[in-house]
Amino acid sequence: SQIYVACRNGRVDQALSLGFLLCWIAGDLTNFVGCYLTNQLPIQIVTAIFYVNMDIIMISQFVYYKLKNQKMTKCKVFQ
């Protein structure tokens, strides 16, 4: 639901920091590696992969809206 709300608002770059998102994906990546190396149940591995994918989407949104909002700000300055 956070991804949907961020798309609607177009302001994900103001709601979250890149450092927070990078720490978040680091935690989910280590969770996935731990699940894989310790031969956890398949559902745990699939869940870890799901969370890593959601993190990648959130970081992609952050970068996209950051660049888009910077471009819009530069356009407003020149008007």
pLDDT tens, position by position, for the chain (79 residues)? Answer: 666 776 677 667 667 788 999 999 999 999 999 999 999 999 999 999 999 999 999 899 889 888 888 887 666 665 5
User: For residue 62, with 0-12 CB atoms within 10 Å meaning exposed, 13-18 middle and 19 or more buried, which class applies?
Assistant: buried
**Domains held by the chain: number:** 1
Supply the range of the domain harboring residue 17: 2-77
> What would the two tokens of residue 18 be?
């890149």
Distance CA 29, CA 48 (A): 8
Distance CA 22, CA 59 (A): 8
pTM: 0.78
